[in-house]
Chain A
Amino acid sequence: MSALVVGVGDPYRGDDGVGLMVARRIRRHAPAGTVVLEWRGDPETLLSAWDGVERAVVVDAVRTGAAAGTVHRLEPAVAPAALASGPRSSHGLGLAGAIALGEALGRLPRELRIVGVEGRAFALGAPAGEAVRAAVDRAASAVVDELGV
């Protein structure tokens, strides 16, 4: 397998669900040979998915202070700051933690790209906001572009 798209998020926490929405959009139009995974926070699941993968693009909601719906392309080295500011799971490590763990164990994909969608509201039980829903197509295009296939 050469390419992997990982959508990250919680569909029940407002804008946090955008990573999953983007992954589902891509699944419908995925280039051949691309695997799409929806990740809920178990570190081993993500590390196992990365094993032997050439290139992976992870898409997640981020908070950097930009306008809601802004699509960011982040380097893994700088991504943790934006990711860590989002809601944290008490059960896993979060994406920033999983990337750090993958790095410590030498289990990162050869190339890792991160697409972030700026979120604003992360309330429990709320749907994703309009600005974030309107960004799904642009984020999906950015992910496919980063895949380079």
Chain B
Amino acid sequence: MSERRIEGRVTRRVSVEALARVEGEGAMTLEVDGDRVTGVELRIYEPPRFFEALLRGRAFGEAPDITARICGICPVAYQTSAVLAMEDALGVGVPEPVRRLRRLLYCGEWIESHSLHVYLLHAPDFLGYEGMVDMARDHAAVVQRGLRIKRAGNALVTAVGGREIHPINVRVGGFYRAPSPARLREVAEELETAREEALDAVAWAGRLAFPAFEHHHEHVALSAPGEYAIEGGRLVSDHGLDIAPDEFEDAVVEEHVAHSTALHARLRARPEPYLTGPLARWSLNGDRLAPVAREAAAAAGLPRPCRNPFQSILVRCVEILYACDEALRLIAAYEPPDPPAADVAPRAGVGHGITEAPRGALYHGYRLDDDGLIVNARIVPPTSQNQRAIEADLRAFASASLELPHEELTRSCEQAIRNHDPCISCATHFLDLTVRTR
């Protein structure tokens, strides 16, 4: 922190040059003038990755595996949005058993990603540790539980996807091979235990101390009839947004900002930031969760809608519980899709796909030529949609917390960023904290 006086006013700069416990490389700077926060920048300095450009000229069938490489935490999200968009472009409908198997694979990724974030990245903030290793010395049972839950997610993704990260079994139209019911029953045993532990975890997360803070961002999430939307649906909000995936590019504008290699997204209809991800999903769709998850959330005191981003750790624990339960339901009813994929033939077309990545809505749009080669690709990850909401949260939270000692303020601001589990690696086209007190 630097502090100086200009015409009797104290100005400060709070900065974190390399944010820890976030996925990717970024920094944060707050400019404070007297008792006012005058500037907030979430700076993403991880180099741009140009995935959209390198997709041009590649065959439609390559998109799921190429885009999976954007993220080591949510590759299933990339693969699923990619296959939906390609199937839309190619006029392919997939049979219901294929859709259910996609949802099952996606449940595995939610379990893996959320448990990584809850236990490795976010919980140390609430319990007062520098990181998971320090936390593990005093809270071994909590950490072991997190690791076991994550292992169940890994096992599920491996069983359906072929390996625990960057699955190799996903293709446009469905899957290369359907897992056998016996193979899924093995995973079900581990998921049964994980569901019990996830239930305990919701109660544990409900007892954490949440700073009093509320935001009023527009909550945006997919909505699907009769279920908690994951692998498809319409994009809706609590401000009247209700669009099909093919309307996304008209409804969402992406802008370059000088301080970040990630694009900032906003809704064309409203200049205010919007939020996608667990808080939005819970707030909009929480009534569609399975009873076990709804009841656990109610017992833990989770309000709905939920407007305190610090409670996102609790929402993630509820979603882990739901994903375990939903996976078990899908496995119990599982019949291998035969054939495992719908027939797909190349043709010219335009297609769009949106799914609920662990961090929020992930959009893919492609234009194909007559040979099914990609002419144009557009990918809008949740973190670039959430950047403005994260900056707005930081500004509001820091403004109310300026009396805190510098180190505590810095720590709280980092925690406020981690509330949103930003995936910088996904967004670069993100974190370090500088609070500049001018």
Contact = CB atoms under 8 A, between A and B. Distances in A.
A100 B147 contact: no
A72 interface: no
A29 interface: no
B24 A101 contact: no
Interface stretch (A18-26, A38-46, A56-64, A114-122): A38-46
A18 B24 CA distance: 23
Contacts, number: 51
Interface stretch (A90-98, A130-138, A139-147): A90-98
B140 A90 contact: no
Interface string A62-79: 000000000000000000
A32 interface: no
Contact of A42 (B133, B148, B164, B425): B164
Nearest to B140: A105
Contacts of B147: 43-44, 47
A43 B131 CA distance: 14
Contacts of A106: 140
Instruction: Give the secondary structure class of A's interface.
Output: helix
Contact of B154 (A41, A44, A89, A105): A44
B425 A101 contact: no
A89 B140 CA distance: 23
A43 B22 CA distance: 16
Contacts of B132: 93, 97, 101
B120 interface: yes
Interface in B150-182: 150-151, 154, 164-165
A105 B143 contact: yes
Interface residues of B, number: 26
B325 interface: no
A101 B164 contact: no
B133 A97 contact: yes
B24 A45 contact: no
Interface string B308-352: 000000000000000000000000000000000000000000000
B88 interface: no
B14 interface: no
A105 B25 contact: no
A2 interface: no
A114 B67 CA distance: 35
Contacts of B140: 104-106
Interface in B11-48: 22-25
B154 A42 contact: yes
B239 interface: no
Contacts of A89: 72
Contact of A44 (B24, B136, B150): B150
B151 A44 contact: yes
B216 to A, nearest CB: 31
Interface in B243-269: none
A90 B137 contact: no
A45 B144 CA distance: 12
Contacts of B148: 44
B136 A90 contact: no
Max chain A Cβ within 10 angstroms of own Cβ: one of B72, B120, B133, B164: B133
A90 B120 CA distance: 11
Given A44-B151, A91-B72, A105 B136 contact: yes
Contacts of A93: 120, 132-133
B55 interface: no
Contacts of A44: 147-148, 150-151, 154
Nearest to B23: A90
Max chain A Cβ within 10 angstroms of own Cβ: one of B24, B72, B134: B72
Contacts of B137: 104
Given A101-B133, A104-B133, A90 B154 contact: no
B154 A45 contact: yes
A89 B120 CA distance: 13
B429 to A, nearest CB: 16
A132 B223 CA distance: 52
Max chain B Cβ within 10 angstroms of own Cβ: one of A41, A91, A106: A91
A111 B164 CA distance: 27
B73 interface: yes
5 contacts: A45-B154, A47-B147, A90-B424, A93-B133, A104-B133
Q: Which 9 A-B pairs have the closest CB atoms?
A: A104-B136, A44-B147, A100-B133, A104-B137, A91-B72, A90-B23, A44-B151, A101-B133, A90-B24
Given A47-B147, A89-B72, 12 more contacts: A41-B72, A42-B150, A43-B120, A44-B150, A44-B151, A90-B24, A91-B116, A93-B132, A97-B132, A101-B136, A104-B143, A105-B144
Interface of A: 40-45, 47-48, 89-91, 93, 97, 100-101, 104-106
